[in-house]
Amino acid sequence: MTVHRPSSLSEAYAVKKAHPECSYLLGGTSVLAIGGGETDLIDLNRVVPSSISEKDGAVIIGGGVKLEDVSSSDAVPAFIREAAASCPSLQQRNMATIGGNAASCRADGYMTAALLAADAILSVYDGDGERTVSYRDYVSSHESDWIIMSISIRTGIEGVMKRVSRASHMHAVVTASSCGGCYAYTASPSTIVWGGKDAYRNAEYSDDLLGSADYKRYLHSVIFGGEK
């Protein structure tokens, strides 16, 4: 395994362009874990911020901030903290980053639904410089070359985070989050939708190890108090 250790964003991006098979490395809980792909890596830890700050009515969470720090920050809206805390292992939370979690866009990701519902804004580096993009657009386009610098969430927003899994450390069967009238739904293996409360109705579900498509659709239909 080759690990590239760029000292600047432009260098990191250039490596990725030159070696598209490389994966970005932040916390390592995905790419260094079994099943992580055993690919060559680009270590972003020197170039991605890892602090939490507040500016213009928003909390700015550096891409390198650990989930444990997200979950314990008073500046972060409660349901976002709850999403970070849904990573059930303290060691994992001490290593996994919000940037890495957001970038993965996984349907069973800890942060995916909450960031979608919160309409989080990403600051990304796309080769030409730093720019902002909504997380919803990022998930839609999933530009895996982009480097997530930070995630901006409006302060003071209130929301709800739900996660259903069979055992505490198993992957989520479904997650769902709502905030300000936006509802986000995810289901393993690859269902991610957002919109109104009935957004799940247009989603495609699949059977997998965690449950049937019908089960997941049903869970989404009742998770916010729909019909029984």
Partner 1 sequence: MIEVRAEINGKPAVLRGNADERLRDVLYRSGYSSVRDSDDREGFAGSDTIVFNDRLVYSNLILLYQAENAVIRTPESLLSGREINDVQQAMIDAGVVQSAYNAPEAALILTYLLERNPEPSKEDIKNALSGIFIRDAGYEHYYLAVKLVEEKRKYGCYRSEIAPSFRPSLQFVGKPSGKIDGKPLVSGEKLFVEDRVMPGTFVLHVLRSPFAHAYVRSVDTTEALKVDGVVDIITAFNCPDVYYMQAGQGNPEPSPYDRRLINRKVRHAGDRVAAIIARDEETAEKAAALINVVYDPIKPVLTVEEAMADGAPLVHNGKVEYVSGAPDNLDEYNRSADPDEEKVIYQFPLHGDIRKNIAAAAHGGIGDIEKGFEDADAVVDETYQTSQVQCTPLEPHVCYGHIEGGRLVLNCSTQVPYHVRRIVSQICQIPEHKVHVIKERVGGGYGSKQDILIEDLVGYAVWKTGKPIYYRNTRAEEFYANSTRHPMRIRVKMGGKKDGTITAIYMDVRANTGPYGNHCLTVPMNASSKTLPIFRVDNMYYDLFTYYTNTPPAGAYQGYGAPKGYFAIVSAMGELAGKLGVDPLEMARKNIVERGYMLEILRGLGEGREGTVVPVGSCGLREALDKGAEMIGWGRKEVSDDPDWKIGKGFAMIQQGSGLPGLDHSNAQVKLLTDGTFLVLSGGADLGTGLDTISAKCVAEVMKVPFESVSVVSGDTDACMFDTGAYASSGTYFSGNASLRAAEDLLRKTIHEASLQMEIPEEKLHVEYPGFVVSEDGRKLSYAALSHEATSGAGRGQLIGTGSFTTPNFAVPYGAHFAEVAVNIRTGEIKVRKFYALQDAGTPINPELALCQMYGAVMKSIGHTLYENMVLDKEGHCLTNTFTDYGVPMIQDAPDDLKSVLIDVNDEYGPFGAKSISEIACNGAAPAIAMAIADATGVWVRSWPITGEKILKALGKF
- Binding residues (CB under 8 A) for partner 1: these are 1-3, 5, 27-29, 32-35, 43, 45, 66, 68, 88-92, 94-95, 164, 166-171, 209, 211-212, 214-215, 217-219, 222-223, 228
User: Closest CB to partner 1 among 5 and 197?
Assistant: 5
User: Closest CB to partner 1 among 79 and 205?
Assistant: 205
Torsion angles phi and psi, residue 131, rounded to 5: -150, 170
**CA atoms of 78 and 168, how far apart (whole Å):** 20
Q: Minimal distance in Å, beta carbon 60 to partner 1?
A: 22
User: Closest CB to partner 1 among 35 and 156?
Assistant: 35
Q: Minimal distance in Å, beta carbon 189 to partner 1?
A: 12
**CA atoms of 180 and 90, how far apart (whole Å):** 30
DSSP per position, 13-50: HHHHHH-TT-EEESS-TTTTSTTS----EEE-TTTS--
Q: Minimal distance in Å, beta carbon 109 to partner 1?
A: 14
Beta bridge partners of 58: 55, 154
Decide if 8 contacts 47 (C-beta within 8 A).
yes
User: Closest CB to partner 1 among 166 and 201?
Assistant: 166
Q: Minimal distance in Å, beta carbon 27 to partner 1?
A: 8
14's tokens? 């250039």
